[in-house]
Amino acid sequence: MRGIADSVGIKGASLYNHFSSKEEILYAIALKMTRVPVEEHLLVLDEAGTPAERLTSLVDVHLRHLAVNRVEHLVSLRELSALTEEHRERVVEYRKYYQRRVRDVIAAGIRAGEFGVDDPLRAAVAVLDLMNGVSWWLRDDYDIDALVATYVDFIVDGILRHRSGVRGGAGEVTG
């Protein structure tokens, strides 16, 4: 609490005029980093376009939100275990719902012939891990447009893309 207070220029005790406990601060941060993506980012999945186009939009807004709230994202990960069971469950529920929606758009892309992965849920987990990993090393002076372009390529044209058949998959050739 003293560290948080320092960073906003007041004393530790003064924080209790704004929050009733440390857990409430951590919950507010964790909620912001899970509810906002669910209630705002997922809207792009309902707009017009192919699954690949809609997922591209989601990667865009997801990475930009993460770039702006990098520290909050790391805190919500690290301090998840410090939340009450009830609060932790709500945060986990938001994360799971977001994951399911990513899985669903990947599944739609498979049905539409745009994507070529076997298991939409596994692919969704990989895609989210790849994006969220950015928060560990991103710096303030990083070119976010370039970041988004690179990761859209890695995800939409890389992980999810149809394999061209020459090597067809993971060990099928040799196995």
Partner DNA sequence: GTCTATAGTTTGATAGAC
Partner DNA sequence: GTCTATCAAACTATAGAC
Query: Which residues in 55-79 are b (16+ Cβ under 10 Å) and which e?
Result: bbbbbbbbbebbbebbebbbbbeeb
Q: Is 20 in the site for DNA (CB under 7 A)?
A: yes
- Residues of this chain, 23-62, that bind DNA according to CB under 7 A: 23
Taking the alpha carbons of 119, 125, 128, 131 in that order, is the dihedral positive or negative? negative
Least Cβ distance, residue 10 to its own copies (angstroms): 23
Q: What is the rounded distance in angstroms from the CA atom of residue 68 to the CA atom of residue 34?
A: 14
> Per CB under 8 A, which region of 8-16, 32-40, 84-92, 111-119 contacts its own copies?
111-119
Q: Is 152 in the site for its own copies (CB under 8 A)?
A: yes
Residue of 20, 29, 15, 26 lying closest to 83 (CA atoms)? 26
Q: Is 150 in the site for its own copies (CB under 8 A)?
A: yes
Which of DNA, its own copies, none binds 171 (CB below 5-8 Å, type-dependent)?
A: its own copies
Q: What is the rounded distance in angstroms from the CA atom of residue 98 to the CA atom of residue 80?
A: 17
Task: Identify the residue among 17, 81, 164, 174 touching DNA (CB under 7 A).
Answer: 17
Judged by the rule CB under 8 A, the positions of this chain that interact with its own copies are 49-50, 52-53, 56, 78, 109, 113-115, 118-119, 122-123, 125-126, 128-130, 132-134, 136-137, 148-154, 156-164, 167-171, 174-175
